[in-house]
Amino acid sequence: MRKPPRKKMAWFFVILGSVFLLGTVPVWGTAPALRGSPDQRFFWLGSMSTPYAEARGVSADGQVVTGWAGVYNPHRAWRWTAQGGMEDLGDTHGQGAEAYGISADGQVIVGYSMLANGIDYHAVIWSGGQIRDIGTLGGLTSWARGASTDGSVVVGAAQVPTGFNHAFRWTEQGGMEDLGVLPGAVRSVAWATSADGEVVVGWSGFPGGIFHHAIRWTRPTGMVDLHDDANWVWTEAEGVSADGTTVVGTGETRSTGFQHAFRWTEQTGIVDLGTLGGNWSEAWAASADGSLVVGWAEVAPGNWHAFRWSAQSGMEDLNVVYAPVIPPGSVLRVAFAMSPDGRYIAGMGYNAATGRDEAFLLDTEAPPGPSPTPTGMPTATSTPTATSPPGPTDTPTPSPSPTPPVVYRLYLPLVVK
């Protein structure tokens, strides 16, 4: 059955998808399982004793991963290292938090933390063991989605006094800067930024329904509309290359009526990346040079797999390409993040050993020789196997795409109108 493209719905206390609680609960803080081959390694990172976790960011060297875990409130922002496993980053008011972006060295993590009322939320930065609330644009809410390579630039969205969200760019010197909206639009969201923080991508929304246009912002040009109205109903940019010249995201194609992943450059415009045989797909991240793209795509109706795309190989199912290191019965559902060189891929998948949806880390180019085991990690197995938050008339809603294989949501300003 075709899913409606991101229809408006109440967001708080809504669970998208089905809850499957199988197997035993993994112990918080324990080291994840590791599988290896001479060329690749695979890590289940765990889920912090909850049925669900997703990895949203990975450092340049693959040694630090960040994301969030949880089904019911409060959600828990976490940071994973090979030495320490999955550690709770904490929150500002004891009501939960989610982490999304990370600096190249893994020392700066950005996301949001719920406020004491359990309804509103503010963008935060985790660094040096501290949590910093970076405020709003005059409204009640904000959240951070991405960071520059050194963590000095943070991007996201924040409510303005009108009640709608505007994309922001934050620096220590300039504070939270409103990036505005496209002409005629009422809202905008920033999803990602280039390595130097000078290029910001996301989307801007128009009144009267779900009309989003992918955008690219720089200081000289301001907010530029990337949307191709002849071929796409709506588009959203969700990732960008290090130099800002390649933009990736998702949108509804006019030719199919379904949501497809896309890749944009100034030379090519928006290019449909297709699917893995099903109807839907979404691109979340690009490598530093823009040659690799990762995300999720249907292989059959209702069955999502993580993908990697390149011009040479097209869209590849990570479950097929890296079958020798993926544990039997497990499935990689979404690739949310990738290191700049494309070596490390992080996301969410089904761990057959625990029966849970957990965060994962895939090392696609392990060093030559026996796969090293990080400190505190078990040895590798030797048998390979094949929205704004509500304004005057708004209700928080999911982004205008069908629900990806992110199963558990009770609150999430991740994609608001």
DSSP structure string for 55-124: EEEE-TTSSEEEEEE-SSSSPEEEEEETTTEEEE---SSSS-EEEEEE-TTS-EEEEEEE-TTSS-EEEE
Q: Are 398 and 146 within 8 A, CB to CB? A: no
For residue 353, how many other CB atoms are within 10 A of its CB? 15
Residue 36 pLDDT level (bands cut at 50, 70, 90): low
What's the chain's average pLDDT? 83
Residue 413 is predicted with a pLDDT of: 40
Average pLDDT over residues 288-307: 97
Average pLDDT over residues 286-293: 98
Q: Which of 401, 286, 306 is nearest to 359 (CA)?
A: 306
Residue 212 vs residue 35, higher pLDDT: 212
Residue 21 is predicted with a pLDDT of: 28
Residues 227 and 107: their CA atoms lie apart, in Å, by 35
Residue 256 vs residue 392, higher pLDDT: 256
Residue 272 vs residue 372, higher pLDDT: 272
Residues 186 and 310: their CA atoms lie apart, in Å, by 35
Counting every residue written for the chain, the total comes to 417
Residues 61 and 59: their CA atoms lie apart, in Å, by 6
For residue 385, how many other CB atoms are within 10 A of its CB? 13
DSSP character string of 314-365: EEEEHHHHTGGGSPTT-EEEEEEEE-TTS-EEEEEEEETTTTEEEEEEEESS
* 142-147 and 154-159 beta bridge pairing: antiparallel
Residue 19 is predicted with a pLDDT of: 32
Residue 192 is predicted with a pLDDT of: 98
Q: What is the pLDDT of residues 345-402, one digit of tens each?
A: 999 999 999 999 999 999 999 654 433 344 333 323 322 222 222 222 232 223 333 3
Residue 131 in this model has a pLDDT that exceeds 50: yes
Residue 320 in this model has a pLDDT that exceeds 90: yes
Residue 5 vs residue 174, higher pLDDT: 174
Residue 407 is predicted with a pLDDT of: 35
Q: How far is CA 232 from CA 35, 55, 213, 240, 262, in A?
A: 41, 29, 9, 19, 10
> Which of 132-136, 138-142, 208-212, 270-274 comes out lowest in average pLDDT?
208-212
Residue 286 is predicted with a pLDDT of: 98
> Which of 19-23, 51-55, 94-98, 149-153 comes out lowest in average pLDDT?
19-23
Residue 321 vs residue 407, higher pLDDT: 321
Residue 400 is predicted with a pLDDT of: 34
Half-sphere exposure in the Cβ direction for 271 (13 Å, CA) = 16
Q: What is the pLDDT of residues 86-130, one digit of tens each?
A: 999 999 999 999 999 999 999 999 999 999 999 999 999 999 999
> Which of 93-102, 143-152, 158-167, 385-394 comes out lowest in average pLDDT?
385-394
Residue 366 is predicted with a pLDDT of: 64
Residue 266 is predicted with a pLDDT of: 98
Q: What is the pLDDT of residues 69-81, one digit of tens each?
A: 999 889 999 999 9
Domains in the chain: boundaries? 37-374+390-415
Residue 40 pLDDT level (bands cut at 50, 70, 90): confident
Average pLDDT over residues 50-66: 98
Q: What is the pLDDT of residues 175-205, one digit of tens each?
A: 999 999 999 999 999 999 999 999 999 999 9
Residue 273 vs residue 12, higher pLDDT: 273
Average pLDDT over residues 29-38: 48
DSSP letter at 277?
A: S
DSSP letter at 409?
A: -
Q: Are 144 and 129 within 8 A, CB to CB? A: no
pTM for the predicted model, two decimal places: 0.84
Fold of 37-374+390-415: Methylamine Dehydrogenase; Chain H (2.130.10)
